[in-house]
Structures are given as C-alpha cells and as structure tokens.
Structure 1
C-alpha cells in the first residue's frame, strides 16, 4: 500500500497541524542519545543527567527566536527514549518529532541481521502505527537511516530499502545519515529505486562534503540537502559551510535545503561550553543574512522547507 503523506505532524505529544508551526524548525537534532562504544560517556545525552540543560536551551530558543519544532532523529540502536522526549517537549513547550529506523552499520541492532527487507519494513510500519515501545509515542519521520562510505554496505542497503518501503506504507518521510557527507547519491538511488519520491527524502550531513556538484545533483533530483552539522568546527568551519550553502542557493535550490546543528553529545551543550542548539540562529544565520539572504529566504530554509519535507508536500502542493 502506498499511503499519501500526512498533512499534520506526528509529534511526541500528539498530532500538530503543519500550518500551526509559525516559528523556525531544527531539522536534525538529538535531545536524548547514547552512541558510547568506548566507555568514555562522551557521545551521550542521557535524560537523567542532561534533560534539564536540553530543556533550558529549547526554552531559551523558543523565547528568543520563536523555535517551534525539533526533528529528533535518534532511532533504534542510538539510545532512543520516547518518554524522555515527551517530557522535554512538554516542559520546553516546543514540539518534537521522534524517529524510527536504523543508523549506520556499526550501530545496527540484532533484528537487522536476521530480518530481510520486507520483515524490517514491517517492523518499522508496526512501530509507526502502534508507537515506540510502551510509550505510545508515534514516530513522525524515518531516520536517521544511515550508511558510511560512497556505497552502502549490504546491511545498510537493506535498512535503507526497508525505510523506503515503510515510508511508502505510512506516508512518513526519510532522513538519512551520510557519514561525513559521503554516499548521498547512492542513498538516493536506493530509496527512489523502491519507489519513494525524492521530495520525501533528506540526505544528511552534506555540509561535511566539499562537493557543490553533488549538492546540486541531489537537489536537482528533488531531494532535500541537509546542512545539519552547523557549528561543528572540528569537522568543517562555518565559513566553508556558508560558502557551500551560498553556492547551492545561487544555483536556484533554496527550496531543497534543511538546516540544523546535530547536537549529539553533552560536550556540545551550552552549559558544558559547547555551541548549543541555538548556534544556527546566533552564529550561522547572521552570516547568511550578511551575505544577502532576506527574511523570506531564512523562513524558507528554517520553516517552510522542513515542514514540506515532514509532510511530504510536493512543489505543486506549495
């Protein structure tokens, strides 16, 4: 069954009409996370220890910039906690969309080893329709479904195909993790090869890839190009990110861009000296404005595009 895309957003506290989202959206973030494979506790946002700091940041961004929605892409095998997301959302009074899917192969959970594409797609559909665990929270996006390298491994290709089939069955869109920005064209080919329209796909971490040609190619095919690690200077400077973004905008693809910071460890939080979730608004967008982007472009990049992505709206629906 190919179900039409929804016109409302599935948030962790219930359905929300997309038209009611009047402020900016963070299109790829983590509020709760556990990617710790070294035992050092660095790649963690534990709800017991960090939710107060996370909530405080979201409150500040709602009050200062009107932050209305966070797309939270912690999925299976990444320490997802839907109940904690619901508490943070209610306390911050910022809507949150939760996710389901599988990250890239080192973080795959056991069911991916034994299930085939159709079985894994069925698991995602059941979660989309029945909720995440006992929380009752319905995921509102499939992601961040991942791969690493220029071509997904066999295991990664399997979960990408499963994500595409689940998207077709549920009407949800797919956000990917492209490790260090690589492999986006191969991801898009796999997903569209299953029949999923490109405008329901966001290819992740493209601001880590110094290849404007790939960015234009993805956008020209209709996919969203996620510049979603803004502020992560250890990977790339924001000056370089801005140049890559301006090249994509100048090529006529402003309607294909998503922006976010991908906060993925406690060291990135403001109270631990990091850039915080607000770096997009405080540190990056002022530079984009200085380069000539007006309020309409900023609204397109930070609100209208992510809403169109989440609802699966095509250009004709705009």
Structure 2
C-alpha cells in the first residue's frame, strides 16, 4: 500500500476568516491602505476615511477583481495610522476581494505615546501577540501580518528599534511575517539585521519601499540574504518615476532574484483614488506590468511576483515550499 505524504494546508488569516493559500488564483497587492489617517499637521489629504472614501475603495477593488482577477490585498495600516478593522471587513465583503489586516508600529513620528513611551520590548511584544491571538480591540478581527513596522534614516531610532524587535519576537511567537516601512527606501539593511538578530528568518521579512532607493546593490544584498524586496510605491511619480522603478526591478530580475520581489502601489492619500483623478490601486496592472511585459518579462515571472511570492511571504513558507 502506497502512503501519500500529507502536506499541511497553508492558510492566510484575512479579516473575514481563514483562507487557503492554494485558493488564490489571481494577483495580490502586497502593500496597500484601504482605511488610513496620517493627518498630524492639518494634512487632510493623507486620509482614507472609510465613511467618505470607503465606497470608492470597494468599487475600485471590485473592478480589479473583475478585470484582472485581484484576489487579495495586504492592508498595512497599523497602530497609530488610523487603522479601522471593521471598515476592512466591509470593504472585503463589498468588493469580493480578501483583505489581510496588520499590527505593529509605523515609524517614530506616528508612534502613539501611550503605546511606546516607557514600554520594554517584552511589553510591546505582549501587546502585539495579544492582538494577533485575540483580535483588534473588540472587533474580533485578527491581524495576518506584522507591518508596516517602520524606521527612518539609515538606522532605526531607539523607539523604532524597540518596535522592530517586538515585531520580530511577535512573529516568532505567532508564525506571522513582518513587512517594514523603510522611509524613502533607506535603512533596509539595518532593519533586516535587527530583525534577523532577534532570530527571525529572512524569508519572513519584506523590506519596504525599495523602489524609492536607486541602489541596485542594496536590493541585491537584501535578496541574497533571503528577504523580500518591495517595489510597492508603483505609480507614485512625485517620489520616483516608474521608469526608474522599472530599471531597478529589471536589474533585480536579471540578478536572478525574481523570487524575492513584491509589487504594489501603496495608496495612502484619497487623491490617489481613481474617483478623485488618481491612478488608483490598478496602476500596477494597467501600466507597470504591461511595461514589464514590453521589457521581456514573461507571464510566469509576473505570476511569481504578483501571486506566488506574496502568498509564500504571508504564510512564512520557504522558497523550497513554493
């Protein structure tokens, strides 16, 4: 009698419940915001108010599901960023697109004083683990990723280092992966060193906003170490042109690291929505991926970057398990 080895089913934790990773047949947006409030100094543009903008967000995602098969959005609004888990549930149900919620702390200017001031790494870790295991507040919505855990500059500040260490320890305790915010692409190597020093495997780390850093050598070092390299601000031309993003991504692919790339648009202001004249969540599919195809990137590599890589990252699977 032949025994067929049993392979445990890998599950994603979404805002509406567990989802089998194998059920994702279309692309994933690896770093987005659907409900957000980054207004600290009267910058009302840096808001995605679910009461005002939620319907437009749902319509955009539903249209992308119909046109491009969008299956999942990784929503990286965390503590201190105006996170709204109940709005994420509504958007997921209205759009038919699964959503993964996040926990952690953004970079220092957005740290809630009550969370970070005087708190040890152990205390911060406890806060994150409790949220992951019991849900966000009274909503019952459980985060499925740690992020976007942030720093700014070439090295994290002391509070940022504490929050990053706490994220690594919470990841080890719960099995979730960590997605970072590297301000304008800087400091990614320092983030990776800090997280791995805590014992977190590189393949469970995604270093954010690397498409804002015009330094292919850094991208290669991150990928060679085993971390994911996020080209996640596609379409944000005021920060970096898509032409430069394309060149940087092609260099990473040519170096043999397609299995380390994650792609997204990081919609973080309501003016980026299609309904307000912006490029929207679909710019990746409508503009950037066609440019990759024109440059000679085949459909298998595009599927790798937009579906298999983010699925593997979220489940904490190693590349050998793809």
TM-score interval, smaller chain: over 0.9
1:141 equivalent in structure 2: 145
1:68 is aligned to 2:47: no
Using the TM superposition, give the Cα deviation of residue 6 of structure 1 relative to its aligned residue in structure 2, in angstroms: 8.4
1:34 pairs with one of 20, 29, 37? 37
1:270 is aligned to 2:274: yes
Q: Report the Cα distance in structure 1 between the residues aligned to 2:223 and 2:245, rounded to whole angstroms.
A: 17
1:45 equivalent in structure 2: 48
Structure 2 gaps, min length 5: 1-7
1:314 pairs with one of 306, 315, 318? 318
- The answer to whether the 8 Å contact 2:9/2:20 transfers is no
- The answer to whether the 8 Å contact 1:34/1:78 transfers is yes
- SS of the residue corresponding to residue 235 of structure 1 reads coil
Q: Report the Cα distance in structure 1 between the residues aligned to 2:320 and 2:237, rounded to whole angstroms.
A: 37
Q: Report the Cα distance in structure 1 between the residues aligned to 2:321 and 2:310, rounded to whole angstroms.
A: 14
2:111 equivalent in structure 1: 108
What is the aligned length?
Answer: 314
Q: Report the Cα distance in structure 2 between the residues aligned to 1:258 and 1:28, rounded to whole angstroms.
A: 9
Structure 1 gaps, min length 5: none
Structure number with higher relative contact order (C-alpha < 8 Å, ≥ 6 residues apart)? 1
- SS of the residue corresponding to residue 114 of structure 1 reads coil
Q: Report the Cα distance in structure 2 between the residues aligned to 1:107 and 1:93, rounded to whole angstroms.
A: 31
Q: Deviations over 1:95-147 (max 9, x none)?
A: 00000000000000122112100110011000000001111000000000000
- The answer to whether the 8 Å contact 1:34/1:44 transfers is yes
Q: Report the Cα distance in structure 2 between the residues aligned to 1:307 and 1:260, rounded to whole angstroms.
A: 14
Structure 2-normalised TM-score?
0.97
Structure 1-normalised TM-score?
0.98
- The answer to whether the 8 Å contact 1:6/1:312 transfers is no
CA RMSD in angstroms comes to 0.9
Q: Report the Cα distance in structure 2 between the residues aligned to 1:304 and 1:211, rounded to whole angstroms.
A: 25
